[in-house]
Amino acid sequence: MSKDLQKRAAEMLLNGATLLSEPCPYCKGVRVMKEGQALCIKCGREPEKRDIPKEEKPEGNSLKKTLEKKLESLSKELEGETDHEKQQTILKSINSVIETMDKIKEK
């Protein structure tokens, strides 16, 4: 471990850096991190910068489309239903879907 690395690591720690629990991937030495930059105190190497693919989050659009399809399906089911009790059940489901769609629009 060179004096320059020791000095640099000490300065980083004094300025708010933290010691990492994961060892250096190259030499298994102790690493110090500040502002997203990790420095190994033993070998002085920093991990290679790699682009981490962003995970695409399902948007409200897909939920909206799903609810629209469900609403359409329930509407068709209601058209063909002759039993009054089943009609009431379908209408309650339609109402729930519409309420959910309204909540999505508010966000």
For residue range 76-97, list pLDDT tens digits in order: 999 999 999 999 999 999 999 9
CA distance 56 to 40: 32
pLDDT (0 to 100) of residue 43: 86
Those residues of the chain that have pLDDT short of 70 are: 1, 47-60, 107
Q: In angstroms, rounded to a whole number, what is the distance separating the alpha carbons of residues 43 and 8?
A: 12
**pLDDT at position 53, please?**
63
Q: How far is CA 35 from CA 14, 16, 40, in A?
A: 14, 9, 15
